Amino acid sequence: MATLFVSTLRALVREKALFIWSLIFPLIMATMFMFLFVTIDDMTDYDPVPTGVVADEAWDESPFSGVAAALGEVGDDQLLVLRSFADEEEAREALIAGEVAGVLSVNGEGEPVLAVAPGVKINPTADGDAINRSILESVVATYGRDADLMRAIAEADPRAFADPARLAEAFDGSAVTEEVALTHGAPKQSVRFYYALFAMAALFGAQIAVCAVCWTQPNLSPLGARRALGAIGRTRTLAATLAACWLLSFGCLVVAFLYTRFVVGVDFAGREGWCVVGLAGAALVACALGTALGSLPKIDFGSKTGILTGVVCLLSLFTGLYGEPCMALADTVARDFPLLSSLNPAKAICDVFYSLYYYDGLDVFAGNMVVLGAFAVALFALSALFMRRQRYASL
């Protein structure tokens, strides 16, 4: 049995083609993400935006001035650095000179107005400008929305203002800083992509099992037929083979994980150990998926690899791996078709990581690991249907 395990592992390790998808691919993708996500993460790690304010009468009378002042308070979550100008003219000069990213003022109707000067550089990076501008735009837009909400509440249920809890409820989600407080770590947008990447890499690892299962089944290869004539039973053969597959899939994932953690420098909220446990579960699902696919009769290894690639790419679509629009699609599908979403092993693997990142306790993580286990059991059971045969009508 030990020899069986070691030999299988050795043969698999030397099958270099297997590592293209299970190892090289995630390493390359992680590296690409590293360069792609520098800006996205900067957005969350922003420096306060230098902002001009036309401090005229209208400004002083508008509640917006209070909001702006609050956002400009010095502290950890300072969003704006306010600089007051006596009139529009002065402010415009500062804007064109690039001293401020935008100018806020309040018009005759008491509505906040944002003035920006495209093409003027303030930050060393061009994208920095765009981000600063969008922060300012979002400040103005959020205020507009909240003001509308306030008006609506005032009309419908004036007493609500007396109850701060109900007000907070009404405004839940509108403030940028609120989300931060709820999570285990300080969340970065990009981390989702790495989770989706791990899920994809893990499922690609199924190829290892597809290959190894082919070596064990009489109807799939002459080698499988030959092995069936030996004095070792099918169950023991499969157990040793799958153990080797799992170890190798897991090993590939751990290498990709270590690379992501220490070379790419992705933050896993200090839960690296649990992440590795999650990877072990992901490798198990991959093994099971590979076994199920590998055991299908009458399809050759090349076609199975093709099928696997297609399926994994499709499943990864719903983890949002391919970019923001896709992330939005993933969220929509998860919300509107929860059942469909819950049948996606790639999603299940992502969820394991989310649960480590976003929740303080480990309950949700444990629950998600159970889900992975269920996937593995279901897939192994499916494979058993094809691998139960001891004798074949033809080879």
Partner 1 sequence: MDDISTTAPADSATSPAPVAPTAPTAAPAAAADSIVAVDNLVKRYGDVVALDHFNLTIAPGEIFGLLGPNGSGKTTAINCILQLLTFDKGAIRLFGAPMTPTRYDLKRKIGVVPQNVALFDELTVRENIDFFCALYVDDRRERARLVGEAIEFVGLGDYTGFRPRKLSGGLLRRLNIACGIAHKPQLAFFDEPTVAVDPQSRAAILEGIRAMNERGCTVVYTSHYMEEVEEICSRIMIMDRGRAVAVGTNGELKAMVGAGERIMVEVAGLSPAVRERLAALPHVRRVTYSEPELAVQCEQGARNVADVLAVLAAEGCAPGRVYAEPPTLNDVFLEITGKELRD
Residues in contact with partner 1 by the rule CB under 8 A:
3-4, 7, 10-12, 14-15, 215, 218, 221-223, 225-233, 390-395
Comparing CB distances to partner 1, the nearer of 218 and 320 is: 218
Comparing CB distances to ligand ATP, the nearer of 160 and 225 is: 225
d(CA 95, CA 80): 15
Residue 4: name its binding partner from partner 1, ligand ATP, none (Cβ under 5 to 8 Å by kind): partner 1
Residue 231: name its binding partner from ligand ATP, partner 1, none (Cβ under 5 to 8 Å by kind): partner 1
Buried b (16+ CB within 10 A) or exposed e, 5-17: beebbeebeeeee
d(CA 72, CA 82): 6
Please report whether residue 235 would count as binding ligand ATP according to CB under 6 A.
no
Residue 189: name its binding partner from ligand ATP, partner 1, none (Cβ under 5 to 8 Å by kind): none
Q: Amino acid identity of 143? A: Y
Comparing CB distances to ligand ATP, the nearer of 177 and 394 is: 394
Among 203, 394, 386, 389, residue whose Cα is nearest residue 296: 386
Half-sphere exposure of residue 194: CA atoms within 13 angstroms, side-chain side? 30
Comparing CB distances to partner 1, the nearer of 52 and 218 is: 218
Neighbouring CB atoms inside 10 A of 252's CB total 27
Comparing CB distances to partner 1, the nearer of 7 and 44 is: 7
- Site map for ligand ATP, 376-395, x if CB under 6 A? ------------------xx
Half-sphere exposure of residue 353: CA atoms within 13 angstroms, side-chain side? 26
What six digits make up the tokens of 127? 């994208």
Residue 42: name its binding partner from partner 1, ligand ATP, none (Cβ under 5 to 8 Å by kind): none
- Closest CB 300 distance from partner 1, rounded Å: 15
- Site map for ligand ATP, 335-374, x if CB under 6 A? ----------------------------------------
What six digits make up the tokens of 287? 């093994």
- Closest CB 299 distance from partner 1, rounded Å: 19
Beta bridge partners of 352: none
d(CA 187, CA 179): 9
Residue 173: name its binding partner from ligand ATP, partner 1, none (Cβ under 5 to 8 Å by kind): none
Among 267, 102, 91, 123, residue whose Cα is nearest residue 192: 267
Residue 74: name its binding partner from ligand ATP, partner 1, none (Cβ under 5 to 8 Å by kind): none
Residue 11: name its binding partner from partner 1, ligand ATP, none (Cβ under 5 to 8 Å by kind): partner 1
d(CA 246, CA 13): 12
Comparing CB distances to partner 1, the nearer of 4 and 283 is: 4
Comparing CB distances to partner 1, the nearer of 243 and 364 is: 243
- Closest CB 298 distance from ligand ATP, rounded Å: 12
d(CA 232, CA 72): 74
- Closest CB 222 distance from ligand ATP, rounded Å: 12
Comparing CB distances to partner 1, the nearer of 12 and 379 is: 12
Comparing CB distances to ligand ATP, the nearer of 228 and 287 is: 228
- Closest CB 250 distance from partner 1, rounded Å: 20
C-alpha angle 107/108/114, rounded to 5°?
10
DSSP H or E stretch at residue 106? strand 102-106
What six digits make up the tokens of 388? 């139960």
- List Cα–Cα distances, 180 to 69, 192, 201, 221, 358, in angstroms: 21, 15, 29, 55, 10
Tokens 């023991």 locate to 236
What six digits make up the tokens of 305? 């690899």
- Closest CB 394 distance from ligand ATP, rounded Å: 3
d(CA 337, CA 103): 44
Q: Which residue is nearest to ligand ATP (CB)?
A: 394
Residue 221: name its binding partner from ligand ATP, partner 1, none (Cβ under 5 to 8 Å by kind): partner 1
User: Which chain residues interact with ligand ATP by CB under 6 A?
Assistant: 394-395
